[in-house]
Structure 1
């Protein structure tokens, strides 16, 4: 299973696993902490998440472009993970919702700094013919951390501690181990730095621009997964079973990411992505029409396959169509497009659900996925990756 996974990719996968364990020990408990301990309301929670994710999207673009110019991508990756790992556990010391906003902001600053350079470093460290597998493996490790983190928090609260703040402090341990791994084991790769001196580095054009536009169209129909949990409640999934459903969802994503990423190395990226987007459209149609809890569990499994099929293949295709000197900037634009489209996607979905009903909301999401799939096939050229001789 790990054949072709280089040392850098393996370590960066472990780093993502540990970081997600740390993050997911805190994140699912944050709404409860804000509302019951600090007395904040849902509107303030929404503002925290909006500010955090918008900040991350902008910094992913800037850090990606910067990583093409600096000698070491590792330094940006290290600083980003270090900022997040230092800031995140400080939620335990917060005495106001405003303090949580500042801490969450710092956490997302770290994510914004590290994400695009890390994605570029994975491409730098991998044979072109194995990029799909490398990115699939990395996503699988990320999903594994998202699965383990809440379970660790639940275990701690059930058997060892009674205070949310203690759990938040303990989340510093896996985060610190992640930073230590980067310092000790991640190696910089030899590459030519970009000679472009403009602030933007480069503006996407040609096939890259078309690919990013197609991704943005798809993203506009890909609303927050919180709406799916809301739908699960309507279909009879009790509050006690929602965490179990969410764990099952992450398990499907984790199990499928590496195999489907590897499949894209053999049969081509576009075909796997289009199939994944097709599954997304079918799952959204299913969520609109489902009437039973059993159907909900099946649909979450199908929806998890969409993530497994597309996350690694999308990044691998991006790395295939740009030069090494533009790789960091390309990932910056990619992460920016996906991040900046997430807010209007959720606003649109919520508006449609409230004004026209859930069938219309899910229908628009499925339709945009179908349009994006058709455009990917017709306007985005794919050259098969060649192994390095």
Structure 2
């Protein structure tokens, strides 16, 4: 059995007829435009993310628990608003508009960091606004990708998009390092530069992304508006409910990039000026592996690729808590961590997309992402508490055990043969 393409329920969109040659195209122009927006946005976001752990933990002397709370807020506090954004995009079929609002919010938040000063509550609020923007935009963006791509090519489309996204993540820390080297240890300069880059991404979204792309599955624009009852009905649908639960379990196995990089910095006694390069190493591995793993997922099955990604995450945690040190181990850790993202980020949505009916697909994707984000909020707080009580090595060993336990519970949910009918995509 393969999860390389999940068959859709009768209410889902049919394949586009009469365009057999399109399956050989790499990806649609809309996917490239969305990838460009994500690339530029990630340059902006990773400029801030690369310096924020140092600023909070070493500059403001936050405890591991406090950092865990802020890190959880960074990814999970706005999870429910993802669902609201997804529903609004589905109801009014304005996915591009909703995504644009999200990108604009994240851009404005970069300026908010300038006003926050050393106030931790204000910094937390600004981070929440930034994540609100990400939460609002992610599901509409991913829904546009699914509507721009034939179902049998979703793994490839998400792989190309995530490769472009990760290229931005690769450039972001380098840009932050360049700014810091040019102006000294001035975090304000990083925040201002980040805002300018994020604003450029909004402009490209407005000019080049299409709301109703040609060549993808139909969006039934003339049908009745999606109701709240129809959207909530997703949770009564067993395949969708299993996807949301599986995503939440997988979120519990993730401790957050900031913790991973702080652990590496402590273990290898890296100089602070090199700290942003840890994110560069992860992004480089993600960049190299995202598209090939997306194609592999279309060929051999999306579930095996996702499982492999979480095995790489478990191996990353074991290396972080192991007795071996040195640059080779550091490089292997970053490669595995980037491989985890490449094998799971887009592939999980590619797995989920065809299961969700087109009319409420954005809402469904938002539910999956919200399940992960809420669980991530919990896991970040728990890991920060475990670090403070047990020490970093024991805490990360517990995280490795959590990965194994979560996989045991997740695989049956995603591989259930009763409703998720699968087939292998022909070569």
Using the size of structure 2 for normalisation, the TM-score is 0.80
The reply on whether 1:201 has 2:231 as its aligned counterpart is yes
User: 1:134 corresponds to which residue?
Assistant: 157
For residues 100-249 of structure 1, the aligned pairs below 5 Å read 100-160=123-183, 163-189=186-212, 191-192=219-220, 195-198=225-228, 201-202=231-232, 203-204=234-235, 205-240=237-272, 241-249=274-282
Distance 2:75 2:308 in 1: 28
Tell me how far 1:358 sits from its aligned partner: 4.2
Out of 322, 334, 342, which is 2:356 matched to?
322
Tell me how far 1:272 sits from its aligned partner: 1.6
Q: Any idea what SS the aligned residue of 2:280 has?
A: helix
Out of 287, 297, 305, which is 2:339 matched to?
305
Tell me how far 1:15 sits from its aligned partner: 0.7
| Cα root mean square deviation, aligned | 2.9
Out of 82, 86, 89, which is 2:104 matched to?
82
- Aligned residue pairs total 385
Call closer, same or farther: CA 1:47–1:247 in 2, change over 3 Å: same
Distance 1:49 1:70 in 2: 33
Residue 274 of structure 1 contacts residue 373 of structure 1 at CA under 8 Å; is this kept in 2?
no
Q: Any idea what SS the aligned residue of 2:78 has?
A: helix
Higher RCO structure, 1 or 2 (CA under 8 Å, sep 6+): 2
User: 2:373 corresponds to which residue?
Assistant: 339
C-alpha deviations, 1:129-155, integer Å up to 9, x for none?
Answer: 111111112222222222211211211
Tell me how far 1:345 sits from its aligned partner: 1.8
Using the size of structure 1 for normalisation, the TM-score is 0.87
Deviation larger for 66-75 or 26-35: 26-35
Residue 50 of structure 2 contacts residue 279 of structure 2 at CA under 8 Å; is this kept in 1?
no
User: 1:370 corresponds to which residue?
Assistant: 407
**Structure 2 alignment gaps of length 5 or more:** 1-23, 213-217
Distance 1:227 1:40 in 2: 15
Distance 1:275 1:49 in 2: 25
User: 1:26 corresponds to which residue?
Assistant: 48
Residue 219 of structure 1 contacts residue 342 of structure 1 at CA under 8 Å; is this kept in 2?
yes
User: 2:18 corresponds to which residue?
Assistant: none
Call closer, same or farther: CA 1:163–1:307 in 2, change over 3 Å: closer
Tell me how far 1:122 sits from its aligned partner: 0.9
Tell me how far 1:257 sits from its aligned partner: 0.6
For residues 340-359 of structure 1, the aligned pairs below 5 Å read 340-352=374-386, 354-355=389-390, 357-358=394-395
Call closer, same or farther: CA 1:106–1:245 in 2, change over 3 Å: closer
Out of 76, 81, 88, which is 1:59 matched to?
81
